[in-house]
A and B are shown apart, each in its own frame.
Chain A
């Protein structure tokens, strides 16, 4: 053992308070890049990286550009697989950095406000407060100061991971993938630290499922009042604005509304705030001019937002060092002078102090609100707006969602708004159509008349799943009698509009899966109503139970979804978490029927979130846009080796069962997505009763959308007791036809023991 090793171990022991024996310390507390590499390589042996290179070239260094087609390598020696894996690592590093920097910002802020010794409490129903942090670091965070240790560790790892991207470093696609998995695991750690800091620092709901319902939609905003719009993901300034309004009895006089995750976060702090909607409605709403003041923080904000704000006549305040837009820093200027400059000469402000930014935002909104005209375009005005339109279809060609924008404008010109309504419903909000138009048709302005101004409801993000809930559902999930947990996450870059996500969510809620949502996907679901005018949040239980529809909150609240899976292993199966990553990930992969759906992922953060789920053994299904980071982890079900260790018998068993079949895959239609989600909830550990239930849903969805029994059904039937009674006759006939033979049902399937690891098989027995 090297001197350096001892030094690092001592340092880690100090950080995680190794002498504090709350749990035995596993093999990988505060892992460095190599520590979980063997686990990654084992995963990648079954789920091989699949690349769809975004570019034939590498353009990263001055030796290039280098053509990497065919057998060619770049001037540095890299091949196309490694180069694409490098791009994936870069995306995951960006994603984790965004969450990590957010966490750092919030943690520093709350420590400054409350002190490093301030105790963390998430309410009386949550003892395992930070499952990701406990698992990865081996630290049980007790104070805000402990959260700082967490983010310091994450930052330290990041420098090595980004370094690997440099020319002349890593050369293997598999090692790039291992690093992507590492940084993405850390993403969940950073997200968890960020959200805990916010829950503690901003008084979000704690230990409750039944959080308030808030108004949702661009139509929810009362335009007759001054309106402040928040855009981004960091609530520091947003919560101060909410507080300022409350402190000055202005809550009924000023509208505070948000787009994207800041909206989630501010409504968790104060349910008077409203949610405009997901990312895809940002440009539309800004161009509507309804906002008197736009306040930005960080991530997923249009980078031309100061220009758009100026065009719309909205005042503009940037508040985050990550997104300064070339504005003058007015943080140290007199508040009155800033307000005067903004209201009289339209000056846009950069203000880093949340208290000052809040005061300025409210006062400017009160000043400007009554003076601004917020009249929207009426349907009768639309033909006039597009009178210069010619059907050149440059807008359609520019549309990244492949929409027939040109045809819809043509129809609108002739007085038929319906095609434009359909385009609006599927619009991802990039604005390229209008930019491309040689005749400057104001397409987004026309959409004001095409958009529905109906409102929806969003259940306020609840944060972590409670330990008490895990105790109730742990056994049914692991045994399979709750057929699965479907986590619908990510952005609103949907191929066919938001309704599809709501349809998928409801299909699984009806089938008594647990449906968990976050981020823009959670908002999108809240916009769809049934014939009685109810949203899914009003129709289904908010509890983490069969048939529940749960909004955990913003992007960083995704850590509570991975956290729930970890808690099942810990609370139900009593496996220790502390620095015990391989054991827990192996447990989740083989036993916890959870599957993610990133139907409209857009950001690099989404890439990191998904890849972090993958290292933890949770498969993810992507929509067509979400796959544009161009790497999947796929198996080939018939050919690949599905051997696992039978932990009780301690012998290798070739199960022949591809469960889960893929770690991350992409599908083209919502129908296929539903079939794939149901299949990817199947686990080797399912009891016959659980497998029957899971196959009931898989077969049911497959028959509904594909018209027959699944053509891989025989791979998932181990014994006749697995066959759903409802389909028994036809399944038996099918099995006979394909020559199916009974297989062993394992009670302790594990990958531990199938690859080189310090972890013993004893560790997985509980």
Chain B
């Protein structure tokens, strides 16, 4: 299939403004590093998806820890995050955090100002596409990025559709690059 169609066809873009597809973890890491106030939104699929037995939640935790990125735990992900040693900065549900993010004057989850890069992982693709559409249309003050293995046309930056092996390679590479950048 073409990389320009989302894996789940229900999310196909009907429009003009589509995500920039990035496959290189170094480029992703650079975008995250360049952000002044990034935010990581972790959805409940991070609790159920895994790569070689490593839960996606663990990848999310590692990513958050590398640069001390604040986490918004949506749905019921908070409990597992806390058990894993991460206290989320916010427990807004997905559309609640998006509703705040679209206001440029919002103070952000750490009361330090709104975020300029919002990174999503573990949200079911159809709901993520809805939220990303909101931000694409109504939050031009920030950029959005997705870390799941699917192409999200409504994001600013998205991975292409990836098989699990490539996805694992990407996430491992991203963490390595973030750590390098952090040093």
Contacts and interface: CB of A to CB of B under 8 A. Distances in A.
A56 interface: yes
A707 B106 CA distance: 27
B137 A54 contact: no
Contact of B16 (A57, A665, A668, A671): A57
B180 interface: no
A624 B91 contact: no
A708 B82 contact: yes
B93 A672 contact: yes
Interface string A79-95: 01100000000000000
A684 to B, nearest CB: 21
Most buried by A among B17, B82, B96: B96
B8 A630 contact: no
B127 A69 contact: no
Contacts of A675: 76
A57 B98 CA distance: 22
Given A55-B14, A56-B14, A708-B78, A624 B44 contact: no
Nearest to A668: B75
Of the four ranges (under 10, 10 to 19, 20 to 34, 35 or more), the interface on chain A belongs to 35 or more
Interface string B69-98: 000001110110011000000010111101
Interface residues of B, number: 42
B15 interface: yes
Interface string A284-307: 000000000000000000000000
A671 B47 CA distance: 13
B134 interface: yes
A399 B134 CA distance: 23
Interface string B27-47: 000000000000000011000
Interface stretch (A45-53, A234-242, A339-347, A497-505): A45-53
Contacts of B134: 50-53
A402 B124 contact: yes
Contact of A397 (B9, B94, B124, B126): B9
Interface in A486-534: 495
A716 to B, nearest CB: 15
A624 B17 contact: no
B96 to A, nearest CB: 7
A402 B130 CA distance: 15
Nearest to A676: B93
A112 interface: no
B137 A669 contact: no
A676 to B, nearest CB: 7
B114 interface: no
A667 interface: yes
B49 to A, nearest CB: 11
B79 to A, nearest CB: 3
Contact of A624 (B9, B82, B100, B127): B127
Contacts of B98: 50
Nearest to B125: A402
Contacts of A676: 93
A402 B126 contact: yes
A636 B79 CA distance: 23
Nearest to B14: A55
B140 A70 contact: yes
Given A69-B17, A668-B93, A398 B9 contact: yes
Contacts of A705: 76, 79
Contact of B123 (A400, A639, A668, A672): A668
Contact of B138 (A51, A495, A634): A51
A666 B127 contact: yes
A57 B78 contact: no
Closest 8 CB pairs of A and B: A56-B15, A707-B79, A671-B76, A52-B130, A669-B75, A400-B10, A55-B14, A668-B75
Interface of A: 50-57, 67, 69-70, 80-81, 397-400, 402, 495, 624-625, 627-628, 630, 632, 634, 636, 639, 665-669, 671-672, 675-676, 705-708, 711
Given A50-B134, A56-B13, A639-B106, 18 more contacts: A55-B14, A57-B16, A397-B9, A399-B8, A399-B10, A630-B133, A636-B100, A667-B75, A667-B93, A668-B127, A669-B44, A675-B76, A707-B78, A707-B79, A708-B78, A708-B79, A708-B82, A711-B91
